[in-house]
Amino acid sequence: MPDYRPRKTLLNPELRRRGIYILPNLFTTAALFSGFFAIVQAMNGKFEIAAVAIFIAMVFDGLDGRVARLTHTQSAFGAEYDSLSDMVSFGAAPALVIYVWALKDMGKLGWIAAFIYCVGAALRLARFNTNIEVVDKRYFQGLPSPAAAALVAGLVWVLIDNEWTGYEARWYACVLTIFAGVTMVTNLRYYSGKDINLRKSVPFMMVVAFALAFALVSSYPPGVLFALFLAYALSGYVIAVSDWFNRRKKFARGE
């Protein structure tokens, strides 16, 4: 008989626990609520609040996995719940927010762009679940869905903050939405940061870098956050070009 257990349970021995742990799942629920709240606010025409809610969902999503690992409360339930929460917060919510704000006036192209993003997020999460024990943990394969959501939400936030209307921004929104959706399902490598161990000492310069990052973000949150996530989205292409040149050099040397 075929085994219909979730793939994460089959592939990762650490996730075979059947219990439900309260602490990490509270953070996952908070992330899910933030994504749902973003959808509600977009339906009410409060797009700036919706964009901020997506960023808040990112914070909670980043905390649930860290808390689970630090407290040794990882489970198959938590892994599956986290994926479903991510689909709402970083798949459906950004697609709906950007569609209602800017893309609905573009007709078919608008909802197709939103759907490309949404299906890209779903495929990205499904691939992550099935490749969890295969890929190099230092890198993500394809743009992570939270980063893609931050890119879309960041565009909405920064343009509204600069008094742009959705109609004025529709072409920028369309291009960025398709770019984010397609980049999620590419094989580009993105640094994951999973090799950073919070339970061990870190170099002093890393502490300084974090302090500078917080200072920059606090100076102008919409613009700085959007710029940071745009740079991160482009970093995968930079790494790919760098790898290509390195392979060319090795080939030229006969290695």
Residue recorded with tokens 């390195």:
246
Residue recorded with tokens 């999503």:
61
pLDDT mean over 189-205: 70
Give the model confidence (pLDDT) of 112-168 as tens digits: 999 999 999 999 999 988 876 656 677 889 999 999 999 999 999 999 999 999 999
pLDDT band at 246 (very low <50, low <70, confident <90, very high): confident
End-to-end CA distance of the chain: 48
For residue 5, what pLDDT is reported?
46
pLDDT band at 3 (very low <50, low <70, confident <90, very high): very low
- Asked if pLDDT for residue 29 goes beyond 90, the answer is yes
- Asked if pLDDT for residue 250 goes beyond 80, the answer is no
Of 208 and 37, the one with more pLDDT: 37
Q: Which of 123, 28, 36 is nearest to 82 (CA)?
A: 28
pTM: 0.85
Determine how many CB atoms are found less than 10 A away from the CB of residue 47: 22
Phi, psi torsion values for 189, nearest 5 degrees: -95, 135
Query: What type of residue is 85?
Result: S
pLDDT mean over 210-221: 79
Do 162 and 102 meet the contact criterion of CB atoms below 8 Å apart?
no
pLDDT mean over 174-181: 98
Determine how many CB atoms are found less than 10 A away from the CB of residue 41: 20
> Among 46-50, 132-136, 167-171, 188-192, where is mean pLDDT lowest?
132-136
For residue 1, what pLDDT is reported?
41
Three-state DSSP state, 245: helix
Three-state DSSP state, 140: strand
Do 82 and 141 meet the contact criterion of CB atoms below 8 Å apart?
no
Do 163 and 204 meet the contact criterion of CB atoms below 8 Å apart?
no
- Asked if pLDDT for residue 189 goes beyond 50, the answer is yes
**Where is 228: in which H helix or E strand?**
helix 221-252
Three-state DSSP state, 138: coil
- Asked if pLDDT for residue 20 goes beyond 80, the answer is no
* Structure tokens, 70: 């630090």
For residue 9, what pLDDT is reported?
45
Most confident among 116-120, 193-197, 222-226 (mean pLDDT)? 116-120
For residue 86, what pLDDT is reported?
95
Do 69 and 122 meet the contact criterion of CB atoms below 8 Å apart?
no
Set out the domains of the chain in order of their start, with CATH numbers.
Answer: 7-252 (1.20.120.1760)
Do 120 and 182 meet the contact criterion of CB atoms below 8 Å apart?
yes
Q: Which of 120, 118, 108, 101 is nearest to 49 (CA)?
A: 101
Of 173 and 13, the one with more pLDDT: 173
Burial 66-90 (b: 16+ CB within 10 A, else e): ebbbeeebbbbbbbbbbbebbbbbb
CA distances to 67, 140, 229 from 194, in Å: 14, 10, 18
- Asked if pLDDT for residue 14 goes beyond 60, the answer is no
Distance CA 127, CA 76 (A): 17
pLDDT mean over 157-186: 96
> Among 131-140, 187-196, 225-234, where is mean pLDDT lowest?
131-140
| DSSP assignment letter at 192 | -
- Asked if pLDDT for residue 13 goes beyond 80, the answer is no
- Asked if pLDDT for residue 11 goes beyond 60, the answer is no
- The percentage of residues in the chain with a pLDDT greater than 70, rounded to a whole number, is 84
